[in-house]
Amino acid sequence: MDIWHRLGRIFRISNLGTLIFFILNIIFIYSFMGGVTETSYLIIFYVITVCISLSPIGEWFLCLIIGAENIKRTDIKIHVIPLAEVVLGAAHKNTKYHPAKVNIKIIRDDLPNAFAIGKHTIVITNGLLKLSDEHVMAIIAHEVGHLAYGHTVVQLLIGGSNVFISGCILIIKISCWIVTAIMGLFSLVARSGIVGILTTLFAGISYAVTWIWVKLCKLFLMWSMRQNEFVADEYAAKIGFGYDLAYALDHQICDVPRNGFLDALYNTHPNNDERIAALQKLGVNYSRF
């Protein structure tokens, strides 16, 4: 795989929201730390954390957290592993970028689903085994697309960033509580209504700013995650699984609930009709009727 394909996978319109997310967080880190030197130390610490996350140890730890296990049953191995190998073979044949290997793990969930984590792992649910081989391969092909485009690696980077930002926000909230408590006691002693008003105003502005900042960052991030679902669908179609993926989305995979416009903005997945429509525009000859 040459450098241009690597760069092409990273610098895509679908990753624009993620890029903005990181820029906003860097601005937040710099503002919070108050200097270039302090920020540099923090970035070094963050890079070390990310390197650990991207290592096999990090991937193993993620699997441990979500309860994903190696497939122990021989019959399931005999059934699933060859299907994944067929998908990888199609990816090698039809694309210039693909994961070198894929580890299949399983999680106890009756709903048919799968998701990619780390750099080489695809987790399937027990419920996925109820589907036909064609539809299982189509869903695995979608997840291989996520691995091929590095979407799961970006998610690890986001996870590390979120941990730090959450810590900063927690420190800000604790500081607000302490300042509010001190100023509240002072206002009681001094019997000054102005101090109480200023304290309330300070606390309100602090909470509002952090809430808006988090929502704004998340808005850009969720947009990128939805766009990446389309990218992974396109990958599955490119390697020959578009029709079966559309069928699975239409009949077997639970749709993303929509409770309003704002809810749609903050979902990680587009609804299934949007994904099927995008596949049809790519030339997938699928119809429900």
What are 58-73's pLDDT values in tens digits? 777 778 888 889 999 9
Q: What is the pLDDT of residue 10?
A: 53
Q: What is the pLDDT of residue 99?
A: 86
Mean pLDDT of 198-215: 68
Q: What is the pLDDT of residue 246?
A: 96
| DSSP codes of every residue in 175-237 | HHHHHHHHHHHHHHHHT-HHHHHHHHHHHHHHHHHHHHHHHHHHHHHHHHHHHHHHHHHHHHH
Mean pLDDT of 101-120: 89
Between 275 and 165, name the one with better pLDDT. 275
Q: What is the pLDDT of residue 139?
A: 96
Q: What is the pLDDT of residue 3?
A: 46
Between 1 and 117, name the one with better pLDDT. 117
Superfamily of domain 64-148: Metalloproteases ("zincins"), catalytic domain (3.30.2010.10)
Mean pLDDT of 267-282: 90
Between 187 and 80, name the one with better pLDDT. 80
Gap between the Cα atoms of 90 and 111, Å rounded: 26
Is 0.95 surpassed by the pTM of this model?
Answer: no
Q: What is the pLDDT of residue 207?
A: 67
Q: Flag whether pLDDT at 88 surpasses 70.
A: yes
Q: What is the pLDDT of residue 7?
A: 47
Q: Flag whether pLDDT at 106 surpasses 70.
A: yes
Residue 46: closest CA among 176, 164, 220, 179: 164
List the single range of 105-109, 160-164, 205-209 with lowest mean pLDDT: 160-164
Domain with CATH 3.30.2010.10 in the chain: 64-148
What are 209-253's pLDDT values in tens digits? 667 766 776 777 777 788 889 999 999 999 999 999 999 999 988
Q: What is the pLDDT of residue 44?
A: 73
What are 16-31's pLDDT values in tens digits? 666 777 677 667 666 6
Residues 6+ apart with CB under 8 A from 181: none
Q: Which sign, positive or negative, has the C-alpha torsion 204, 207, 211, 212?
A: positive
What are 151-167's pLDDT values in tens digits? 877 666 665 555 556 66
The two structure tokens encoding residue 110: 């009756």
Gap between the Cα atoms of 84 and 288, Å rounded: 26
Q: What is the pLDDT of residue 4?
A: 44
Q: What is the pLDDT of residue 1?
A: 45
Between 137 and 265, name the one with better pLDDT. 137
If you average pLDDT over every residue of the chain, what do you get?
78
Residues 6+ apart with CB under 8 A from 59: 117, 118, 119, 120, 121
Q: Flag whether pLDDT at 105 surpasses 70.
A: yes
How confident is residue 137, by pLDDT bands cut at 50, 70 and 90? very high
